[in-house]
Each structure stands twice: as C-alpha cells, then as structure tokens.
C-alpha cells in the first residue's frame, strides 16, 4: 500500500535528487570551504552584491513609476485600443530574455536602426545614441519586462476598490489629496508592496538582460557567477556567490509570501468599473499615457523583425560600401556554414537543437510531472509534506543550476543532453502547477459512475480523465516548450559549443563584429520571438477560467 | 435651511430627475420614498455634491452650494452597505472626519468615545470593521457620519441589507438620535414602513418627479394618484367612465363625488377603501369570492376581479357577493 503511494513520486524525486539537490549540495560543499577564497574575493563579492541590490532597487522604483499610472489607466478608464495596449504590456514578461535584449539592441543599439538612420542622415562617424552598455539600458529592459506585474496585481486591487469609499471620505470632509493619502493608498499598500517585492526579486536574479545589454562593466551576482565559472574557472568563488544568491532569493521569497497573505484583506467585493474619460484632465491623462506606453512597448518589439529584414550598413567592416534596402539575406545566410563563423555548423542547426531540446523537455517534464500532479490532486499527509519540496527549484536561479551541473557533472559535460535535463528542472514546477488543478477538478464520483457502468480502469482514464485534463496537459506542454526554447541562464553554462541553442547563438552573434553577424542575430531573435509568441498565444487560449495569475 | 429648486439630471441621455423642488426645515426629517430607479439616490448625491445637476440649484440657508466641493459642505452621508474603510478599525473610521478637520488628538478620542456610546458601541473601539455584523457596521457608519457634527444628515437606504427585527430596533434608535441632535435629515428608501416610521414629511418620487408630498398620515389617507395608491397598497383602484354624474365600471356603478368637474365619457380612477364596505344583497358592487384568508381581526377576501376587502365574517369561496359602498369609502383620484 505504502509502495503504491510512493510510486508516483519515485520518478520525480529520483530526478530532482540527481539533477537538483545533488548539484546544489556540491555547490554548498564547495562554497563552505572558505580557505580557498582570498580577501579580494570577499571585496568583489561585496561590490557585486551592492550593485545587484542597487540596480534591482532602482529598476523596481522605475517599474512602479510606469506601472502605477498604467494600473490606474487600465483599471479606471475604457478607451479605444485598451485591450491591445494591455496585451502589448503583458507580452514582454513571457518573452525570452535574449529576445528582449535583441529588441532593445535593434532599436537603440549601436547597430540599431535609429542610430544607423541618424548616422546616415547627418553623416556621423559614430553612433550618436549610446544606450547599450549603460545602466539605463538595464533599467529600461527591466521596466519593460516587469511593468505588467504591477499593472496586474495593483490593477486587480484597484478594480475591486469600492468607489463609495472615496465618496464617504469626501462627505466626511477629505479633499481629493487627503482621499488619496488616507484611503486609496493605505488600501492599495499591501498589493503595492507585494508587486514591488516580486519585481525586485526578478530584477535581483536577472541574468540575460544584464549580460547582453549591460556589457562586461556591469556584473550582478548572476553575471559574476557566469564569468567566474566560465572565464576564470574559479568554481569556489562562483559557488560562494551562488550561496549568497540563494540566501537572498530565499529571504525575498519569504517576505513576498507574507505580503501576499496580507494583500488578501477583504475589501467589499463591489466592482469599480472603468469609465470613459470625460473631463479634459482625464482625457489628457489617457491620451498622453497610453501613447507613452505604446511607444515604450511597441518599439523594442517591432524594431526586431524590422531590423532583421533591412540592410542599413556594410556587411563586413567599415571599408566596404554601405548598402541599404530590404533583404532576406540575414535569413538565407543562416543556412550557410561560413569559414570564420563562430560555430563550425550553419546557424540554422541552433534552431534544430533548440527544437529538439524543447521537445525532450516537454516529454520529460510531462512524464515526471503527471504522476506527481495526479497524486497531489488527492493530497494525503505524504503529499502535503512533499508538495513544497517540488517548488524548491523555483528558488534557485538558472545560473546557479547551471553552475551546479558544472560542479557535479564536470567530466560529463561533453554529453549534450544535460541541457534538456536542466530545462526540465526549471519547467517541472510550472508543469505540475498547471496539471494539478485540472486533475483535482475531476470528482471521484465521475470515475465511480464510469466503473459501475462497466468501464475498466484504463477505459475510465481514457473516457473520463483524459477528455477533462487534455487542455491542461496541452497547456503545460506548450509552457515547457516555450520555457526550454528561451532558457538562457542555465544553458549558457552547460551547453556544448558544437550544439548551440538559439538563445546562445543569438548572444554569440550579437557580440561579433560585422553587419552580417548582427543581421543574423536579428533574424534568429525574430524567429525565437515568433515561436515564443505563438506559445504564449496558445497558453492564453488554453488557460482554464479562474486560474491564478502569479 | 436646505432648498432645492428645479433640479434636472439625466443619465446616458435618459432623464433621471425632472424639475425637483423641495425644502428641508430645521430639525425636520424628510423621506424620499420611491421604487428603485426613481432617481432618489442620485438626488442625495446631488445634495452631497458627489454629482452635479444639469439645471437647478441647491441652496443652504440661501447660499448656492454649486461652487462648494463635496468635502467642504459638511453634509453627512450614510451609504447603502455602509462603505466603511476596511483598512481602519472602528475608531479609525469614526475619527476619519475629525482628522480631516485637524482636531487635536485628545478631542478626537473624546468625541469618538461619545459617538460610540451614542450608538451603543462602547467597547468596540479597536475591532476590525470587517469582523462586525451588519447591524454593528450600520452603527459605525452612523457614528462616523454624526461625529463631525454635520449640518445635514443623509441616509441612502441605510437599513436595506438588514433583517426585519434588526431594522425595527435601528429605526427606533435612529429616531431617538435624530431627535436628540436636532439635525435635519433626508432619508431615502423604497420601504414605506421605514418611511412612515422615520419621516416628518414624505416626498413620493416616481420616474424622476415628485408625485406627492405631505405628512405620512395625509399621504396614506389621500393618495394623489392611482400610482401612489398602488405603490402604497392603500385601497382598490377601479377604472371607470363618467356617464351623467355616475361612474360606470366593470364591477358596478358609483355616484361621482369629486371636487373636479368631469365631462361625460371621461375616464377616471376610483379608490375604494378595503375596510369601510358592508355586505348587502342590493349593494352596487359585485364579485365572486376567489380566496379567503384569516387575519388577526377578520378575513381578507380576494375577489376574482382582483379587488380585496376586509370583512368581519368569512364568505364561501366561489359565492357571488354584493357590497354597499358608502360615499366616504370612494375617492376619485386625479
């Protein structure tokens, strides 16, 4: 009996034990060996930690500056194009980091269309706008990524904020100013803090954006782990940084879950419905702010495909004649294996590798996740105890996971299938969370009714369970696929150079000289964006009504 | 004190209030009574300054209120479902208006204590408002509105969500408090029992107009129209046609006794009392008994033509009976 209860967990825990807890234990072992670390290492750690905290704090504040008015805009007003604009602000959160970085690069980078256009127009020798490689680029990308968190969490509270509370305060003598500070803000406060904490957590553990847009002079804990492990081969220092990263994430997550329970304070469930803007101040706010949001979100997203289809400079070096016009060259070039190319394979194989890894991730995470989710759908004591352990991989950053693989399986690194294993660890908690509610929604009476009507156990599964959970399975599969396709942090550490994935290839091509390399990076990023976008769309369509958001 | 003249307001191009004028005198409780959708809540919000009329004036002691924003009017408003601040405790809610006046902390504490005592909530100071029962929340809302010493108190269906017995208790308490403080009050409701219990004067609102105004007893005794009589459920309404000083109806002919002059062939509504009729074999009103229900002091008899009478003796179901209707029991409604 006990064996039958443990059976569904066997696969998951063997897998997690081998590919998550064991690597993590190896990191811990390595990091606790202080003797290897020098004074300089500790100083570096201190500076890196300070910068990580500083940029995360600054990013969070800026995200609030954009997100709060946007939350007000969406919660309070109806206007033309509202749902389109809302979708536009939500897309970046689901996109792979390299796509976002490439998008900003295509718009404002030294080879971005804006700089090249200005250079051509005014015959300048160097790009007039310096954006990539500055702190500003990191901050802008973080705001671009996380604004939707503030918009959704705070907007949700705003739309459930009883409008008569304002009126009650008004009839008691509160001026509009006092109403905001004494009523609206205090009620919004818990959800505001929860949203800020979540944004801060994402900014604190950000990797791809900082590596691609910040350049070598900006190192957060994540980026420093990557440099120490891959450039300096200083694994003990990388492990030590990982430990600090883990402890911080743990602390922030605990604070966040505390805040979320406070945010659940019961407000009257009367809906505060959005209105059409009437007085001129409302109209001006809606017009100006929606235009600002549109510009901020649309340019990085649309610059990318645009730049991948236009030739704005010489293909190689500055001596060649500059060429202009629409072109498919960047795409056709992906199929060519040029000498001197960074890889010894045509770049299109990166797409093939990515698709293969993603498919493997889907199969693996479903095979491991489905039995666990089935067991969780009817929780006993065992399940309630095991449940939180399943979520632990969420707490470790992707770079830490990659480092763990290097430390634990160093000699096996020539084995290319470590990449989908790492992706599965990352996708698994999401897959289980997507499957469990659907499985739990099937009342046992349905199965019992089917049995009394003469269905055998496999028949019951096929006729009752499968039709109900089909959508959830598909949604979980698409999610795992999209996660694997865009994953950059862990992949950057464990991939084999002869088996690059799409995000890795984009990163490598972006850091190479020459217009052709740049164009190919744009083309690959566009392909990744389209595939990931299709995945996001599919998940939205498959989403069960009433499923939670974060 | 409060004077409204010719107020007009529309909602999504549908007229909601048309030409409303009335006054509220010092210490008077006026009740706006009407079915839902008659615009009575909107009227309150106009007086409070939460909305603006399209035409017409709201004056307080002769001063036009239009340029004065809602938060400077010092008109207390008690909301339907109370609208208590969920982030503040009982004290925080009651003290809110006092804090807006920047009173010293000592005085605020003292006045909150007095207010809570007045509404029988002493000892509830630090309770969370989300943990209170409906009746307790209602008292907090009342204490909050009273605490600032408003010039006028307004109630928007304040007892709507409560059950019958609780309602009766709170009504009695409310009457006592209004009497003690002497603050003029406007009370909005769709429940006539509430209205009759609380009001010195009733304004009946129908489709955005005041259709009748007067003391509760007067309104009940002399409804101004068939609609009012029906809304209050006062008597039986019978439609008939004037023919040579008589009114011919489907249930019998009646003598026309009306202050207005009527032409032959004109349609009129008669209101026949439910109590003052007497069973008589040669009566002018006839009908077949459809239903008989015993009530405390007699029988409620429903006829197959929809008329209802109270009789001391129970007739048989299905029997045809005739009534004599004394002229005092018939009113001609304009």
Using CA atoms, how far apart are residues B216 and B221, in angstroms rounded to an integer? 9
Per-residue pLDDT band for A10 (boundaries 50, 70, 90) equals: confident
Residues A431 and A492 in one domain: yes
A83-86 long-range contacts, CB within 8 A, separation 24+: A85/A290, A85/A293, A85/A294, A85/A297, A86/A151
pLDDT for the residue A321 = 56
Using CA atoms, how far apart are residues A424 and A436, in angstroms rounded to an integer? 17
**A182 contacts on B by Cβ (under 8 Å):** 96, 99
Q: Is residue A38 part of a domain?
A: no
Check CB contact under 8 Å for B100 and A268: no
Question: Is the pLDDT confidence value at A341 over 70?
Answer: no
- Residue B63: which residues within 8 A CB-CB, separation 6 or more? none
CB atoms under 10 Å from CB of A286, counted, come to 19
Q: Is residue A271 part of a domain?
A: yes
Using CA atoms, how far apart are residues B125 and A309, in angstroms rounded to an integer? 69
Helices (H) and strands (E) in chain A, counts: 25, 2
Residues A521 and A419 in one domain: yes
Residues of B within an 8 Å Cβ radius of A: 45, 48-50, 69-77, 79, 81, 83-88, 96-97, 99-101, 130, 144-145, 148
pLDDT for the residue A262 = 67
The mean pLDDT of A524-544, rounded to a whole number, is 83
Check CB contact under 8 Å for B96 and A167: no
Per-residue pLDDT band for A547 (boundaries 50, 70, 90) equals: very low
Q: Which of A161, A171, A265, A269 to mutate to probe the B interface, most B CBs <10 Å?
A: A171
* Closest by CA position to A473, among listed A324, A389, A365: A365
Tokens 């796509």 label which residue? Answer: A99
**A169 contacts on B by Cβ (under 8 Å):** 71, 85, 96
Which residue among A308, A343, A375 closes a domain?
A308
CA distance to partner chain A, nearest, from residue B146 (Å): 10
pLDDT for the residue A324 = 67
Using CA atoms, how far apart are residues A263 and A550, in angstroms rounded to an integer? 13
| pLDDT > 90: percent of chain A | 29
Mean confidence (pLDDT) of chain B: 87
Residues A303 and A335 in one domain: no
- Encoding tokens for residue B325? 């209707």
pLDDT for the residue A264 = 53
Q: Is residue A550 part of a domain?
A: yes
Residues A89 and A140 in one domain: yes
Using CA atoms, how far apart are residues A465 and B190, in angstroms rounded to an integer? 52
- Residue A338: which residues within 8 A CB-CB, separation 6 or more? none
Q: Per-residue pLDDT tens for B110-159?
A: 999 999 998 888 889 899 888 888 889 989 999 999 898 899 999 998 88
**B130 contacts on A by Cβ (under 8 Å):** 265-266
Q: Is residue A234 part of a domain?
A: no
Q: Which of A165, A169, A173, A182 to mutate to probe the B interface, most B CBs <10 Å?
A: A173
Q: Per-residue pLDDT tens for B200-230?
A: 999 999 988 999 999 988 888 888 888 888 8
pLDDT for the residue A424 = 94
Cα torsion angle, A424, A425, A428, A430, sign: negative
The mean pLDDT of A528-546, rounded to a whole number, is 78
Question: Is the pLDDT confidence value at B245 over 80?
Answer: no
Q: Is residue A230 part of a domain?
A: no
B314-317 long-range contacts, CB within 8 A, separation 24+: B315/B279, B315/B289, B316/B289, B317/B289, B317/B290, B317/B291, B317/B292
Residues A168 and A209 in one domain: yes
Residues A340 and A199 in one domain: no
Q: Per-residue pLDDT tens for A362-376?
A: 999 999 998 888 888
Using CA atoms, how far apart are residues A29 and A506, in angstroms rounded to an integer? 34
Residues A72 and A26 in one domain: no
Per-residue pLDDT band for A549 (boundaries 50, 70, 90) equals: very low
- Encoding tokens for residue A78? 């109806």
Q: Does A166 touch chain B (CB under 8 A)?
A: no
Residues A11 and A123 in one domain: no
Using CA atoms, how far apart are residues B197 and B158, in angstroms rounded to an integer? 14
| Pairing label, strands B209-214, B201-206 | antiparallel
CB atoms under 10 Å from CB of A2, counted, come to 7
Residues A452 and A365 in one domain: yes
- Encoding tokens for residue A46? 């201190």
Range with lowest mean pLDDT among A182-186, B136-140, B285-289: B285-289
The minimal CB distance from A173 to the residues B45, B71, B84 is found for B71
The minimal CB distance from A172 to the residues B49, B69, B144 is found for B144
The mean pLDDT of B289-316, rounded to a whole number, is 84
- Residue A94: which residues within 8 A CB-CB, separation 6 or more? A482, A532, A535, A536
- Residue B24: which residues within 8 A CB-CB, separation 6 or more? B1, B2, B30, B152, B184, B185, B186
Using CA atoms, how far apart are residues A536 and A475, in angstroms rounded to an integer? 10
Tokens 């008690």 label which residue? Answer: B78
Q: Is residue A388 part of a domain?
A: yes
Q: Per-residue pLDDT tens for A121-180?
A: 888 888 888 888 899 999 999 999 999 999 998 998 888 888 888 889 988 988 888 998
For residue A121, what are the CA distances in angstroms to A5, A124, A127, A309, A317?
71, 8, 12, 20, 20
Per-residue pLDDT band for A54 (boundaries 50, 70, 90) equals: very high
**A162 contacts on B by Cβ (under 8 Å):** 83
| pLDDT > 70: percent of chain A | 92
Q: Is residue A315 part of a domain?
A: no
CB A141 within 8 A of CB A56: no
Position with higher pLDDT, A451 vs A55 = A55
A317-324 long-range contacts, CB within 8 A, separation 24+: A317/A513, A317/A514, A322/A120, A324/A120
Per-residue pLDDT band for A544 (boundaries 50, 70, 90) equals: low
Question: Is the pLDDT confidence value at A295 over 50?
Answer: yes
Which residue among A249, A276, A308 closes a domain?
A308
Q: Domain containing A125 — which CATH number?
A: 1.10.3720.10
Per-residue pLDDT band for A338 (boundaries 50, 70, 90) equals: low
Q: What 3-state class would DSSP assign to A148?
A: helix
Question: Is the pLDDT confidence value at A514 over 50?
Answer: yes
For residue A250, what are the CA distances in angstroms to A94, A205, A396, A504, B298?
23, 12, 9, 28, 77
Alpha helix stretches (DSSP H) within chain B: 40-48, 90-100, 105-118, 134-147, 164-181, 192-198, 216-221, 226-232
Q: Is residue A241 part of a domain?
A: no
Domain of residue A268 covers 50-214+257-308
CB A76 within 8 A of CB A158: yes
Q: Output b/e per residue, B236-246; b: 16+ Cβ within 10 A.
A: bbbebebeeee
Range with lowest mean pLDDT among A285-299, A378-392, A426-440: A378-392
CA angle, A284 then A285 then A287, to 5°: 65
- ipTM entry: 0.74
Q: Does A44 touch chain B (CB under 8 A)?
A: no
Residues A262 and A173 in one domain: yes
Residues A137 and A10 in one domain: no
Q: Per-residue pLDDT tens for B74-98?
A: 898 888 888 888 888 899 999 998 9
CB A111 within 8 A of CB A105: yes
Using CA atoms, how far apart are residues A536 and A483, in angstroms rounded to an integer? 10
Check CB contact under 8 Å for B100 and A178: yes
pLDDT for the residue A1 = 61
Tokens 């600090």 label which residue? Answer: A244
**Helix, strand, coil distribution of chain A in percent, nearest 5:** 75, 0, 25
Position with higher pLDDT, A513 vs B180 = B180
The minimal CB distance from B71 to the residues A164, A175, A189 is found for A175
pLDDT for the residue A71 = 93
Q: Report how many domains make up chain A.
A: 2
Helix (H) or strand (E) holding A249: helix A235-263
CA distance to partner chain B, nearest, from residue A164 (Å): 6
pLDDT for the residue A548 = 43
In chain B, the domains with their CATH numbers are 2-226 (3.40.50.300), 235-333 (no CATH)
CA angle, B325 then B328 then B330, to 5°: 60
Q: Per-residue pLDDT tens for A221-238?
A: 999 999 988 888 888 888
Using CA atoms, how far apart are residues B56 and B63, in angstroms rounded to an integer? 14
Residues A17 and A94 in one domain: no
For residue A12, what are the CA distances in angstroms to A478, B107, B138?
20, 65, 55
């Amino acid at each position: 009996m006990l064996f039958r209860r443990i059976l569904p967990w066997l696969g998951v825990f063997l897998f997690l034990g081998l590919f998550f807890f064991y690597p993590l234990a190896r990191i811990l072992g390595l990091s606790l060996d202080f003797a290897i670390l020098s004074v300089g290492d500790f100083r570096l750690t201190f500076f890196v930690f300070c910068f990580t905290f500083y940029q995360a704090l600054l990013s969070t504040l800026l995200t609030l500056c954009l997100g709060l008015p946007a939350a007000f805009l969406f919660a309070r007003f109806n206007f033309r194009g509202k749902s389109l604009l809302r979708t536009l602000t939500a897309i970046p959160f689901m996109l792979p980091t390299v796509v976002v970085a490439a998008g900003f690069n295509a718009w404002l980078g030294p080879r971005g269309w804006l700089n090249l256009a200005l250079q051509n127009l005014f015959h300048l020798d160097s790009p007039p706008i310096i954006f990539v490689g500055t702190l500003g680029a990191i901050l802008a990308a973080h705001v671009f990524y996380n604004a939707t968190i503030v918009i959704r969490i705070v907007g949700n509270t705003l739309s459930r904020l009883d409008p008569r509370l304002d009126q009650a305060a008004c009839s008691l003598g509160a001026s509009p100013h006092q109403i905001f500070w004494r009523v609206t803000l205090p009620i919004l406060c818990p959800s505001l803090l929860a949203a800020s904490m979540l944004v801060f957590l994402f900014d604190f553990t950000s990797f791809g954006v900082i590596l691609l847009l910040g350049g070598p002079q900006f190192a957060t804990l994540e980026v420093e782990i990557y440099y120490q492990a891959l450039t300096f081969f200083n694994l003990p220092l990388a492990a030590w940084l990982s430990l600090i990263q883990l402890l911080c994430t743990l602390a922030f997550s605990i604070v966040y879950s505390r805040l979320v329970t406070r945010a659940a304070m019961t407000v009257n469930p009367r809906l505060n419905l959005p209105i059409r803007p009437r007085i001129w101040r409302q109209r001006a706010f809606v017009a100006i702010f929606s235009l600002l949001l549109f510009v901020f979100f649309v340019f990085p997203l649309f610059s990318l495909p645009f730049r991948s289809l236009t030739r704005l400079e010489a293909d190689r070096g500055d001596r060649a004649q500059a060429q202009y016009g629409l072109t498919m060259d960047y795409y056709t070039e992906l199929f060519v294996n040029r000498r001197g190319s960074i890889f010894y394979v045509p770049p299109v194989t990166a797409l093939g590798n990515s698709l293969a890894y993603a498919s493997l991730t889907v199969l693996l995470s479903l095979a491991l996740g489905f039995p666990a989710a089935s067991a969780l759908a009817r929780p006993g004591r065992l399940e309630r105890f095991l449940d939180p352990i399943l979520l632990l991989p969420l707490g470790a950053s992707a770079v830490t996971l990659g480092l763990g693989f290097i430390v634990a399986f160093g000699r096996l690194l020539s084995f290319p299938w470590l990449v989908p294993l790492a992706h599965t660890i990352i996708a698994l908690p999401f897959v289980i969370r997507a499957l469990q509610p659907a499985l739990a929604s099937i009342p046992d009476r349905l199965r019992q009714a089917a049995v009394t009507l003469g269905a055998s156990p496999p028949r019951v599964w096929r006729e009752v369970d499968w039709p109900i959970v089909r959508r959830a399975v598909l949604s979980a599969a698409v999610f795992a696929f999209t996660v694997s396709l865009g994953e950059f942090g862990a992949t950057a550490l464990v991939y084999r150079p002869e088996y690059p994935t799409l995000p890795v290839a984009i990163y490598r091509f972006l850091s190479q000289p020459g217009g052709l390399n740049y164009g190919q990076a744009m083309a690959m990023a566009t392909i990744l964006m389209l595939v990931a976008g299709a995945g996001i769309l599919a998940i939205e369509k498959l989403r069960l009504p009433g499923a939670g958001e974060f | 004190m409060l004077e409204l003249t010719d107020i007009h307001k529309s909602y999504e191009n549908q007229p909601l209030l048309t030409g409303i004028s009335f006054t509220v005198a010092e210490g008077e409780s006026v009740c706006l009574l009407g079915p839902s959708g008659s615009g009575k809540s909107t009227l309150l919000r106009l007086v409070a300054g939460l909305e603006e009329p399209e035409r017409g004036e709201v004056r307080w002691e002769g001063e036009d209120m239009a340029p004065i924003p809602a938060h400077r009017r010092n008109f207390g408003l008690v909301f339907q479902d109370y609208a208590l601040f969920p982030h503040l405790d009982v004290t925080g809610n009651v003290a809110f208006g006092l804090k807006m006046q920047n009173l010293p902390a000592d005085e605020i504490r003292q006045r909150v204590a007095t207010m809570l005592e007045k509404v029988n909530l002493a000892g509830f100071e630090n309770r969370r408002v989300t943990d209170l029962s409906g009746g307790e929340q209602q008292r907090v809302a009342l204490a909050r509105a009273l605490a600032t010493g408003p010039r006028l108190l307004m109630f928007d269906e304040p007892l709507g969500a409560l059950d019958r017995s609780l309602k009766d208790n709170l009504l009695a308490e409310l009457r006592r408090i209004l009497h003690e403080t002497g603050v003029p009050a406007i009370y909005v409701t769709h429940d006539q029992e509430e209205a009759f219990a609380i009001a010195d004067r009733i304004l009946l609102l129908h489709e955005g107009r005041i259709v009748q105004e007067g003391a509760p007893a007067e309104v009940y005794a002399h409804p101004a129209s068939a609609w009012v009589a029906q809304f209050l459920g006062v008597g039986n309404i019978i439609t008939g046609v004037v023919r040579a000083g008589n009114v011919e109806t489907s249930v019998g002919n009646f003598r026309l006794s009306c202050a207005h002059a009527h032409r032959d062939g004109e349609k009129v509504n008669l209101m026949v009392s439910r109590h003052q009729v007497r069973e008589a074999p040669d009566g002018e009103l006839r009908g077949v008994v459809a239903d008989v229900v015993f009530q405390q002091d007699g029988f409620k008899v429903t006829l197959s033509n929809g008329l209802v009478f109270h009789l001391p003796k129970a007739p048989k179901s299905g029997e045809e009976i005739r009534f004599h209707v004394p002229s005092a029991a018939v009113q001609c409604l304009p």
